[in-house]
Amino acid sequence: MAKVTIDGRTVDVAPGTNLVDAALEVGVQIPHYCYHPRLSIVGQCRMCLVKIEGMGKLQTACSTQVMKDGMVVYVDHPEVKAGQEGVMEFLLINHPLDCPICDQAGECGLQDYSFKHGQSFSRFNYEDKRTYPEKERIPLGPTVLLNMNRCIQCTRCIRFTHEISKTSELSFFERGAATEIGVFPGKPLDNELSTCVVDICPVGALTSTEFRFAERVWYLDKKPSLCTGCDVGCNITLEHRKGAIKRYKPRFNPDVNDYWMCDFGRGTHQRYRTLPRLAAPRLRKAGQVSMVSWKDGIDALFSKLRVRGDGHAAILGSGFLTTEEAYLWNLVGAQLATPHRAVSVDSGPLRTIPNPQGGITGRDAAPNRRGAELAGLTPGNEGFDAEDLLVGDAASKCSLLIVADSDFGKAAHDPKVIERLRQAKYLVVLGWADTPLAEAADLALPLTTHAERDGTFVNSEQRIQRFQRAFPASGEARPAVDVLAELLARFGVKAGNDAASVFDAMAQAIPALAGLTWRGLPATGASLAKAAPPAGGDASAPASGLTT
């Protein structure tokens, strides 16, 4: 380790640590634009100037490494302050006074540092600023627009495409004051991670076609959550205004998605707008479907569970259930003594997100197949699996079929599959979406979306991660754990009615989760990779291990 003293505070850092990172260790923020912890160092913007004892001129902190004991650095220093003001003055010479109409306003590095490190005047009182005529709205690709007038030429976006996405679409073109960002002819910015350049652009030069002008950022409420697009389990910040989701942004987790997420995942919240919402419990009686109260809905379900007549009872779950919901469904399955407990998950395109461990790949088109299986939703001896129900004729042998997610995958929207599931004597469908499958049900119960509930998902690398409710449920929708706790109570089974208590009970029952608690689960999740092997789908008990 090497000792460095920054503004009077001494810290040991690994040799080679740059001064921006070393300063953070002692709580000192050195302003920077071009530096990004995952990109190469270019020393392009000069914003990170610091004074180092023994060196005549101010130095850039991002390109200065601590190599041995004894370096003394000043950030809070009059020379540094004058240097920062000078850099800000230069950066703003040509920058348009666009803030009132700029989509970055409120989260702009130029605004923030102008207040913190700039000055209230400029000595460059030119009438004509250098502009890039007709380059205010250049589509770089399907998801990103460039306003060249706002670019401070930090090269973060260029380096991202060279070093992270490794697609190299972006580059500088022209020279000197005419230098501009652009793409090569016929090669638009169109890779799986392309919107990440919008996240790392410190100013309003790059904006996302999906989000631009959708909302002023200061109106957004932000909650930590997880993407449901696949089983990578990217950590996201869910940003909404009064329950309307406006955007997903990647949330730093070095063990999963690092600073990044894919473009597909960013758009997955659109589904909550494109599909109609199941508004209230619906019951079919004598061929007539009508809205009923929750009490009547649960009464109807309980009476069918208790007296189901001849034929099998089956539960079909999905990879969108939380681990806690799957666990409670498994308890319901145990009350029915049925081996027919299955999870349907579509295979997705492979999605790989770079991280310091070499990247993480998702294979499912849902976030939690592993969690649902871990919680016990796997067929027991001679139990029906998802294929038996969706492709085979197993549903026609069921006196009761419960589909725990009305939007479980592509098959949920396939009329032929719906017809097959409808062969069950009594079909119950639960979920947030009012799909044709929910319309076909004898009983349909409205549940919350993942933005309206708490829970955990287990990702493709067996990491269990927690996500939080971002806003209250709309209409009569209820979280599945609440509904299932009420149902189980009718069987005399005591189960918690919130994700936290169900998780803690589950951790006691499933060896792979031993020692974990809801409150104690680390913010970056916990790896279950060294857990015991699967128990093999016992019909009465939760599974004790994991499948890959």
Residues that bind ligand FES (CB under 6 A): 32-35, 43-48, 60, 62
Out of ligand SF4, ligand FES, none, what residue 35 binds, judged by CB under 5 to 8 A for its kind, is ligand FES
| SS3 assignment, position 26 | coil
DSSP H stretches of helix in 319-472: 323-336, 369-374, 386-390, 415-421, 436-440
- The one of ligand FES, ligand SF4, none whose footprint includes residue 301, by CB under 5 to 8 A per kind, is none
Q: Which residue has the tokens 């041995």?
A: 68
Kindly tell me which of 159 and 469 has the beta carbon lying closer to ligand FES: 159
Contact (CB, 8 A) for 51 and 58: yes
CA–CA separation, 238 and 283 (whole Å): 34
Q: Are strands 49-52 and 59-60 parallel, antiparallel or unpaired?
A: antiparallel
State phi, psi for 388 to the nearest 5 degrees. Answer: -55, -40
Distances (CA, A) of 299 to 295, 312, 418, 443, 492: 6, 20, 25, 11, 15
- When CB distances are held under 5 to 8 angstroms depending on the partner's kind, the choice from ligand SF4, ligand FES, none that residue 164 binds is none
Q: In angstroms, give the least distance from the CB of 62 to ligand FES.
A: 3
Picked from ligand FES, ligand SF4, none, the partner binding residue 43 (CB below 5 to 8 A depending on kind) is: ligand FES
Q: In terms of CB distance, is 153 or 423 closer to ligand SF4? A: 153
Q: Maximum CA pair distance of the chain?
A: 90
Of residues 84 and 318, the one with the C-beta less far from ligand FES = 84
Distance of CA 534 to the CA centre of its chain: 28
For the CB of residue 1, give the shortest distance to ligand FES in the complex, in Å: 23
Q: How far is the CB of 442 from ligand SF4 (least distance, A)?
A: 34
Residue 539 phi, psi dihedral angles, 5° rounding? -70, -20
Minimum CB–partner distance for residue 170 and ligand SF4 (Å):
7
Alpha helices in 40-92 (DSSP H): 78-91
Residue 351 interface partner, choices ligand FES, ligand SF4, none, CB cut-off 5-8 Å depending on type: ligand SF4
For residue 37, the minimal CB distance to ligand FES (Å) is 11
240: tokens are: 């909404």
Nearer to ligand FES, 91 or 300 (CB): 91
Angstrom distance (rounded) from CA 223 to CA 235: 11
Instruction: Tell me the closest approach of the beta carbon of residue 450 to ligand FES, in angstroms.
Output: 37
Pick 35 or 132: Cβ nearer ligand FES: 35
Q: Which is nearer to ligand FES, 60 or 207 (CB)?
A: 60
**Structural Rg of the chain based on CA atoms:** 28
Residues facing residue 350 across a β-bridge: none
Question: Residue 195's closest CA among 174, 180, 210?
Answer: 210
* Nearest distance from C-beta of residue 238 to ligand SF4, angstroms: 12
Place of tokens 């401070």: 152
46's contact among ligand FES, ligand SF4, none, with CB below 5 to 8 A by partner kind, is ligand FES
- Beta carbon of residue 44, minimum distance to ligand SF4 (angstroms, whole number): 8
87 or 512: CB nearest ligand FES: 87
CA atoms within 13 A on the CB side of 539: 14
Helices (runs of H) and strands (runs of E) counted in the chain: 15, 27
Smaller CB separation from ligand FES, 45 or 394: 45
Least separation in angstroms between residue 169's CB and ligand SF4 is 12
Would you say 344 or 368 has its CB closer to ligand SF4?
Answer: 368
Partner whose footprint covers residue 48, from ligand SF4, ligand FES, none (CB < 5 to 8 Å by kind): ligand FES
φ, ψ for residue 313, nearest 5 deg: -110, 135
User: What are the residues binding ligand SF4 (CB under 6 A)?
Assistant: 151-157, 181, 201-203, 205-206, 227, 229-230, 232-234, 257, 261-262, 264-265, 351, 353, 362
